Chain A
Amino acid sequence: MKNFKISILLMIIIVSQPVLSQIAKDGKKAACCVMSDKGAEKENCTQKGSMSPDIPLLNQYGESVNFQDLIKEKVVALNFIFTSCKTICPPMGANFAQLKKIMSKRVENSELVMLTISIDPTTDTPERLLEWSNKFEAGSGWTLLTGEKKNVNTVLKELEVYTALKEEHAPIILLGKGGENKWIRANGLAEPKELAKTLNTFFDSPTLGQNNIKEKKEEAFNRDENYFTNVELINQHGDTMRLYTDLMKDKVVIINPFFSECKGVCPLMSSNLEKIQEYLGDRLGNDVHIISMTVDYKTDQEEVLKTYAEAYNARDGWYFVTGKKENIEFALKKLGKNVTTREGHDSIFLIGNLNTKLWKKVNGLASVNDIIAQVDSVVNDQID
């Protein structure tokens, strides 16, 4: 009995831990910047204010550099490695070198900076980083960073990629615009072609991933329907749903890619969504839609989706959608979720408010509390 009490107590402590750390993070006003678009601006933590301005690091030639200076006003691709990492880092390095090749024009014009930060700065001397990067024969325009452990850790923490054990670091790549601290987290092992597409969105100014500009709001309204179109999809009940009018119009939407046979990240995303569904309560279906789009329309026909949806207790308002090959592929493409192989999909939730045009990209594998905070900020967004 006594044991039981203790373990309950323990559980409470353990459970409350992340909540506490969440508060601490928000207090610092750093977390709000990451992954958010408009939110960042609203909470007044864009630009340098949010990140320590001077973090001295060393590049692979042993020269002192300042992290903020490196990324200021540039589009940035940023990944994390350590040189004694054998399994995932060489592939990440090769991918990064390829990404650089695809984006070579941008790199040459200094519009895009390619950065790699060592997560084992104690071991990774500049010399080691240089040797490591030489293997990939990527040429100039790729900066690898190390430095004093505390400085490197500051950067890693502010980018929210810090792990205590270096062996546990996930193959993450951050894509974003320097100085704005809005990072998209992507899988560092994803196809460089796909990563390049995402990077290009920072240059091309499409609807997604952009702050809305007040004057253009009216026009943007119609643009959405034009952009997303009413392509027909099919949900888990076999109903036909039009992408814009039935699924998105006037709603807040949470969109993720998945496929039913995916045993890696999908179950994690789906169980996060199940908890978000619970949190949303009545708002789901009325104000909010969750849209899980399959990247494997062949396997995921309505019957399969139905079973899958039931496994996560999906209620009305959480739609698992498939469709004719050309339709679902079109829809995925419009949302930036198209892939060449089903395994290549990302684990990013697109959260959008169709009324205010605020869109955020949120790591679907983050802790539920973090995601809910982001959902809230989109739901509560107002036209100003």
Chain B
Amino acid sequence: MKKKLLSYLFFLFFVCTAAKKTTVSRIDQELTYQQKIGKRIYTKGIGGTNIKIMAEMSGVQVPATIMPCVNCHRADGRGNPEGGIVPSNITWAELTKSYGGERLDSQKRPPYTKQSLRKVITTGIDPAGNHLNTAMPKYNMSMEDINNLIEYIKILDSDKDAGLTNSRIELGIVLPEKRTTAYNKNSTVKKLVNAYCMAINSTGGIYNRNIIPHFFEVDELQNKQDFFMILGFNDKRITENIKHKNIPTLLSFSSKKASKGLQNPYTFYTYPSLTAQSLSLVDFSKQKKIAKKGTKATILYYNDPIRKEIAEEIAKYYFKHFKKHPNAISITSENIIENVKNAQIQSNEPIYFIGPSGLGNQLLLTLDNLNKSAYVLIPGSLSGIDIFTMPETFKDKVFIGYPTWISEQTNEGLQAYEELAKNYNLDHKWRRDQLDMLSMLFTTEECLKRIGRNLSRDKFIKTMENFFEYSNGISPSITYNLNKRVGNSNVYIIGFDTAEKKMELITTVHSKEQ
């Protein structure tokens, strides 16, 4: 008992110190130069000399980049059978077993040596003199490269992705704010993540690996690569900063339209992009018959890069549907009254409001004074309104689109949060951000558990791609596949009941990233 307690304490200490450090030392075993080149040949078909590696099969020569070893033999060397073709297990132990090996068609062969391995890769003839199945290409590469490749095959079995050891998974967490802002969102999120990691590590981690979080701002991301994976909120510059590093990344949502698996296989989102969320309000306008062909509309936006771009997207999309260009007006707290007056807004016309949350009620007041009760549609992730001080006339006229809603949260999900909050003294503010982060942690945990002990980044991506209607109790159910990188595309349209003074779910709109 005492021992257990001690080790638990040790854990806590360990996790806390690890979490405090901002720079991470290289955690995975360092590959030698030869092994690194070998790995690139194995996984990408690109060598270290200026002799281009070619693969030959049934008399056809193609660049090895089309058929790198990893395609058929898999990252772990154990083979990826398809259509009756079974690529051999080519881990070093298997190739060099003293009593030899047996392949697909039960042809026996003696153990490989470095020399006979060079021969089989370049000629397709094994040490027993047998021809391999024609599905195994013959490779033409420089002597240096083939030696590099063999150096890598030797350690193939023990080679792990960066940020992964037998006892740890290093998790990079991109904080939501700049350090200079003082809302304490960062520290709240940090507390939550630390609490979660402590809780899970205290019960043995995931398949005996501890989850070790590292926190940093998006600008610090570029020179980090030793995380197994990364979690973050908005993709603002995250994906850009880790491009080509092949690190699995799970984010709440992207600001521009979310990329598909083809463009970026590494990034997954929980919710639709800000753009898709906003455009759903136009779809909703159509459904609810707020707008039809020719209806005049106004877009009020705050002139920052993200909001401006979204205003433009809404304008385009609105025109596509209703053949009328909306009037797009930028607003600030100084000019909002003036600009709304001049905008000639009529009752029952739609207004898409993407200004700062603080100005929402100002807008309604102004409209009320002008006696114009227009429809006001608001993307909740960008903007907002205080329902309690809203003028009576806007009952049934204000709609907010959110990427999730309380109806999607289960008791278990919320309880899990409350328990963490209680046990680890979490902050009460920034609840939505905390829940979004917890949702991502749960999704990650689920994926790691589905994979099991034999973990790799590659498997992480593949396993995520098989998520189908997975519910973590906090976010709407999540489905990913080879193309789909947005877990759930629903946008929840929320209306207000001013009499009851509560929000209610009006409908959900299936948002489109395209």
Contact = CB atoms under 8 A, between A and B. Distances in A.
A6 B252 CA distance: 54
Give the 9 A-B residue pairs with the shortest CB-CB distance, closest first.
A263-B105, A87-B82, A86-B71, A191-B58, A98-B60, A94-B62, A87-B72, A123-B482, A88-B83
Given A131-B262, A169-B83, A263-B106, A87 B60 contact: no
- How many B residues are at the interface, by size bracket? 20 to 34
A320 B482 CA distance: 49
A190 B481 contact: no
Q: Of B82, B85, B106, which is in contact with the most chain A CB atoms at under 10 Å from its CB?
A: B82
Contact of A125 (B66, B67, B87, B483): B483
Contacts of B320: none
A111 interface: no
Contact of A90 (B59, B71, B83, B87): B71
A125 B262 CA distance: 10
Contacts of B71: 86-87, 90
Interface string B80-94: 111111010000000
A125 B482 CA distance: 10
Contacts of A91: 57-58, 67, 135, 137
B29 interface: no
Contacts of B62: 94, 136
Given A86-B71, A91-B135, A344-B134, 20 more contacts: A84-B482, A87-B135, A88-B135, A93-B66, A94-B62, A94-B66, A94-B67, A125-B483, A128-B483, A131-B262, A167-B83, A170-B84, A189-B57, A189-B58, A192-B58, A192-B59, A341-B131, A343-B131, A343-B134, A344-B58
A94 B57 CA distance: 9
A155 B67 CA distance: 29
A193 B483 contact: no
Contacts of A193: 59
B486 to A, nearest CB: 15
A189 B134 contact: yes
Nearest to B62: A94
A169 B83 CA distance: 5
A189 B60 contact: no
Which of B60, B67, B80, B137: most chain A Cβ within 10 A?
A: B60
Interface residues of A, number: 35
A95 interface: yes
Contacts of A84: 482
Interface string B330-368: 000000000000000000000000000000000000000
Interface in A180-211: 189-193
B263 to A, nearest CB: 9
A135 interface: yes
Among A136, A170, A189, A190, the most chain B Cβ lie within 10 Å of the Cβ of A189
Nearest to B86: A87
Contacts of A264: 105, 133
* Best-surrounded residue of B105, B106, B134 (most CB of chain A within 10 A): B134
A326 interface: no
Contact of B483 (A97, A123, A189): A123
Contacts of B80: 86-87
A384 interface: no
Contacts of B60: 94-95, 97-98, 191-192
A123 B58 contact: no
A88 B131 contact: no
A298 to B, nearest CB: 14
A238 interface: no
Contacts of A171: 83, 85
Interface string B231-254: 000000000000000000000000
A95 B58 contact: yes
Contacts of B84: 168, 170
Contacts of A170: 83-84
A63 B262 CA distance: 20
Nearest to B262: A128
Interface string B476-504: 00000111000000000000000000000
Contacts of A23: none
A192 B85 CA distance: 19
B128 to A, nearest CB: 13
Given A192-B60, A343-B134, A344-B134, A88 B66 contact: no
